[in-house]
Amino acid sequence: MEITMQDPVQDEDGDGDRLSSLPDRIVHRIISFLTLKDLARFSFTSRRCQELCNSTPTLSLSNIDILKPDDILCRLSINAFLHSLMLHRCSHRVKMQSLSLRWSFQHSLPDEEFRVWSWLQHAVNSGVREFNLNITGKPFSLPVCVLGCKSLSSLVVNTNNGVLRFPSTLSLSYASSSTLRKLILEYVRMEDDGFQQWLPSFKFLKVLCLSKVSGMKSMRIASSSIEKLKIVSIESLCHIQIQEVEKLNELYILWEFKKCGSKSLEISAPNLQRFVWAGDTVDYFSMRSSSHLWRAVIGLLPPANQSRGREDACKANFDELLRSIHSTKNLTLSIEFVEILLEHGCLPFLLDNLVTLNIRRSTRITGHQVQALSSLLTGTTKLYHLIISTLRRILPNPHNSASDISHSVSAGINIDVTVITSLEMINSMASKQLPFKMKKITMELPNGENELELIKYLLKSAEKLEEMTISYSSPLPSYFSSELTKYKKPFTKLHLHRKP
């Protein structure tokens, strides 16, 4: 058991050249945070620094911080510097691990695109594993060499809403050598279906993330290797089809749109295990349910226009959704969505696999929401743990935000009235309904609220409750715990935590 020291260390006096005496990999780490300009300056201080800069495995090239518009001299010098840097690396066979390129093609020189391509090609030749490309000012075509790269594992492309083109499908065969595992497209505009055609060819692709993509009306995602798919805010899109994804086990969809045309979402993922869906309600939803699904998170906003015919369609969609998440053991719902489900007559619904139910809310729960919740709970026959958690609203609610604000502004008396009426309602509900089965309740109280009535109601209705944990951030009134003790069953353990 002997530890030996390979790295040279200077004395404590600090006179030595500390930075240069650090092992290469540490200095490389330090300079990986530097921008191109700082890197150039740093390389100017000593020969060793220059060598370190030339040999760094993580290179980040950018002309965005340096460039003054229209300054040709500046442009030339950046390009010349990078050109010689790349030449130097090439001739010394320096390995490259990651290349991050932030490039503006505004007022670019005629040969600039070609140069950038050649740097990408150079990176591919030096065994690059990660590409992070952020391009502005010009439609950008992904070179075939990047897509066919034999060492690449992660590719991130952001064109700042500019057009991104995939190479012609004639070169699809190059993708067969691709080792790409993770593909992230952000703020890109795709005007043809090049991406959809290339996608099935990446045989090792595990993670795909499409965020703020524009330009397409419909998208069909098919990939036999993909395991995790994330789709975030693709507003222009009308139809999403996720099919032929045998290995997909995690699906995350955050899809908000201002109403424009009909929207549809079709999912057929036989091995899905985790499913998250938040955003606006679509007009048509279909999901081939997966028996492996064990975790689902749903936070949909109410449908925008409530005409008569639409309501039936909505109900059909929600029924389909509930059916397809039937096998889930762990479910998280926003309280607003539970309310929507009740309004559309979808509750109660038998969810007899459910073990843990997490209800998320951003404000105190209204009487109507309690009603919806209790209706949901009657269908959860095997529920063990109910969690009521507080969180900031993930999505601003575009439909109700104005009324929400007026509601909270009028505060005081109004809210008290709803509490009183809901208390009566709650009591009558508790006497009528079947008792809840859960053994454990965890509840987070929102700032300054105590929601005593809701807690009492839960204590009253949950006949087999063994443990109730309440965490709160602002002080509770003194009568709080004595009041609860009156309602709880003798065998129920009560825990109160103050969270900092």
Partner 1 sequence: MSSSKKSRIVKFKTSDDKTFEVEEAVAVQFETIKSMIDYVCANDCTIPLPNVNAKTLAMVVEWCKKHADERDQLMEVDVDEAPGAVLYDLLVAATYLRVEDLIHRVSQRVSKMVIEIGKLPEEEDVRKTINIKSDFPPQVEEELRKLRRTLGPLSDVLVLFVSSGLLE
Shortest Å distance, C-beta 54 to partner 1: 7
List 73, 260, 411, 413, residue binding partner 1 (CB under 8 A) = 73
Nearer to partner 1, 97 or 169 (CB): 97
**Under 8 Å CB-to-CB from 13, ≥6 apart: which residues?**
none
Closest CA to 233 of 194, 268, 279: 279
Residue 3, exposed/middle/buried by CB under 10 A (0-12, 13-18, 19+)? exposed
165 binds partner 1 (CB under 8 A): no
Separation CA 102–CA 119 (nearest Å): 13
List 38, 111, 191, 416, residue binding partner 1 (CB under 8 A) = 38
Tallying the residues shown for the chain, one arrives at: 500
List 55, 62, 64, 81, residue binding partner 1 (CB under 8 A) = 81
Nearer to partner 1, 123 or 376 (CB): 123
List 37, 203, 439, 464, residue binding partner 1 (CB under 8 A) = 37
Nearer to partner 1, 45 or 218 (CB): 45
What are the beta bridge partners of residue 131?
99, 155
With CB under 8 A as the rule, give the number of residues binding partner 1: 50
43 binds partner 1 (CB under 8 A): yes
Nearer to partner 1, 35 or 154 (CB): 35
What own/partner pairs with CB < 8 Å and gap ≥ 24 does 264-267 have? 264/238, 264/239, 264/240, 265/239, 265/240, 266/239, 266/240, 266/241, 266/242, 267/242, 267/324
Please report, as residue ranges, which positions from 86 to 115 form the binding site for partner 1 (by CB under 8 A). Answer: 88
Nearer to partner 1, 28 or 247 (CB): 28
Shortest Å distance, C-beta 24 to partner 1: 11
x-or-dash string of contact with partner 1, 251-280, rule CB under 8 A: ------------------------------
Backbone Cα Rg of the chain: 29
391 binds partner 1 (CB under 8 A): no
Shortest Å distance, C-beta 393 to partner 1: 24
* Side chain identity at residue 399, one-letter code: H
Closest CA to 472 of 460, 463, 484: 484
Stretch that binds partner 1, among 77-85, 129-137, 278-286, 401-409 (CB under 8 A): 77-85
Indicate if the alpha-carbon torsion angle 101, 106, 108, 113 is positive or negative: positive
Separation CA 280–CA 302 (nearest Å): 7
Copy the structure tokens of residue 128: 């690059």
The residues that touch partner 1, with contacts defined as CB under 8 A, are 1, 3, 5, 7, 9, 12, 14-20, 22-23, 25-26, 29-35, 37-38, 40-50, 54, 66, 71, 73-74, 77-78, 80-81, 83-85, 88
